Structure 1
Amino acid sequence: MRDQILAETFVELADTLVDDFDVVDFLHQVSMRCVKVLGVAAIGILLTDQRGRLQVMAASSERSRLLELFQIQTNQGPCAEAFHTGRAIAVPDLAEAADRWPRFTSHALNEGFVATHALPMRLRATVIGTLNLFHTEKGLLPEETLRVAQALADVATIGLLQARAIRHHETLAEQLQTALNSRVIIEQAKGVVAERHGLGMDEAFDRLRGAARSGSRRLSELARAVVEGTGRV
């Protein structure tokens, strides 16, 4: 069953050669599929904007999204280190990394995460972000699982670059900046939906994404309509 799910995941992540390719929705799909395939507690994805700064682009839960934001704000943590070095960073026990990243480890432990792996999203020498795995149990992932995780990160990276190739007038930085702008609108729409229906942020996002898919609309397009009051979810 796991092999079947893994095969389906790679096929889905490779299918980015479409006119209505949505970077934000694609990366959310990556995060949710990774949780299912790798058996980790949560996933976060960071990509660089036009100025070379890391930004949160997707997360499997609100807890992991906020933790990723905290890493960026404090400029410390395994994800930033994996990006700058281009190497995978494994932390089997975050409590033992308190001297290395004191503010990050304290925040992560408070959120219930006790171990992490940060994997670079790269193609050859080009690193465009990181795929970050968070765990609620101490220890390292098996080597086989880590190889699968890095393969998923690599396929996602190729998918993004492949999507850029069919829009050759855009640079990767411009494409990711557009996606970042969409992410901001989506976060605003999540807040509107959460307030309107009394939902948590994860539930609000699921509702927003489900409405976009059922209505064959881009997620960012529907989110903007919700924020502007011309669409309801």
Structure 2
Amino acid sequence: MTETPRETQVLDAVVTLVDSLLVDFDVMDLLTELTERCAQLLDVAAAGFLLADPFDQLHLLAATTEQARDLELFQLQTDEGPCVDCYATGQPVSVADLEAEEQRWPRFVPAAREAGFTSVHAVPMRAAGLVLGALGLFGTEAGELNDADVLVAQTLAHIACVAVLQGQAPTPTTVLPQLRSALAGQVVVEQAKGYLREVLDLPVEEAFTVLRGYSRAHGEHLTEVARRLMTDRHSRPALIDAITEFASPTTR
């Protein structure tokens, strides 16, 4: 079977994601897909998005793996790492081999190595001169991002900005409500993931996959399903039963 050229894969990803922006879409679901596309297109093991709140505090919005999620959160807790530096400077950060950067990030580097990562990169989420967050990329092998890789990563980060801003021009008046909305959606999705993990006895990644599978199959926003699961006690039992159908047979 002939392998699809990388340029075609990139164009297909961009077209698919932009198409999603032209219809009724869920920010959290789209950002999750963006991280997945990053891992596929850039040949990295994992990716994650960090978004800043109105007080310049970064928050995790999406990550492809639990290891990436934990490492992104570790950056936020220690205020140290490539995404933190990328957000602070508004410039891309690329580290081909973490071994050479332990003095720069004395706590982050050992944590990244323990998680299985050898190289790390980050590109800013930027719109009209405002830095909204950072896209982190984590590799299990040493290696730099070439110019084409950086361009792909930056393109996907721009799409993420458009998704968060939902087509509005980025000014302080329009950005702050959109940031608050995106962060609120992330909080309720995290709550729903944790709840399903306990109720269905699933790993947190599987719980998210099940929740996302149900929302997509029923044409509902991921955040709306999560919100209904956490706030509507009357419909919760039936909703859990329906969501359970999307769990793999080995986890039921």
Above 0.5 in TM-score? yes
For 2:113, the aligned partner's letter is L
Residue 99 of structure 1 aligns to a residue whose secondary structure is coil
- Does residue 43 of the first structure (1) align with residue 42 of the second (2)? no
Residue 175 (1) aligns with residue 143 (2): no
SS of 2:51's equivalent in the other structure is strand
8 Å Cα contact 1:88/1:119 also seen in 2: yes
Of structures 1 and 2, the larger Rg is shown by: 2
TM-score w.r.t. structure 1 length? 0.91
The equivalent of 1:152 in structure 2 is 156
Q: How many percent of aligned residue pairs carry the same amino acid?
A: 41
Write the distance in 2 (CA, Å) between the matches of 1:181 and 1:57. Answer: 10
Report the counterpart of residue 92 of structure 1 in structure 2: 96
1:29 and 2:33 correspond: yes
TM-score w.r.t. structure 2 length? 0.85
How far does the alpha carbon of each residue in 1:110-142 deviate from its partner, in whole angstroms, 9 at most, with x for none?
111111011111134221111110000012123
Q: Which residue of 1 aligns with 2:138?
A: 134
SS at match of 1:158: helix
Query: Is structure 2 residue 216 aligned with structure 1 residue 210?
Result: no
Q: Which runs of 5+ in 1 are unaligned?
A: none
**Larger RCO (alpha carbons 8 Å, 6+ apart):** 1
Contact 2:28–2:61 (CA<8 Å) still a contact in 1? Answer: yes
Structure 1 residue 17 displacement after superposition:
3.5
Runs of 4+ in structure 1 over 4 Å off: none
> Aligned partners of 1:127 and 1:109: how far apart in 2?
28
Change (3 A) 1:96 1:29: same
How many angstroms does 1:164 deviate by?
4.2
Query: How many residues are matched?
Result: 230
Name the counterpart of 1:106.
110
Partners of 1:158 and 1:177 in 2: CA distance: 15
After alignment, is 36-45 or 174-183 more displaced?
Answer: 174-183
Q: CA RMSD for the aligned pairs? A: 2.0
Bigger drift between 75-84 and 147-156 goes to: 147-156
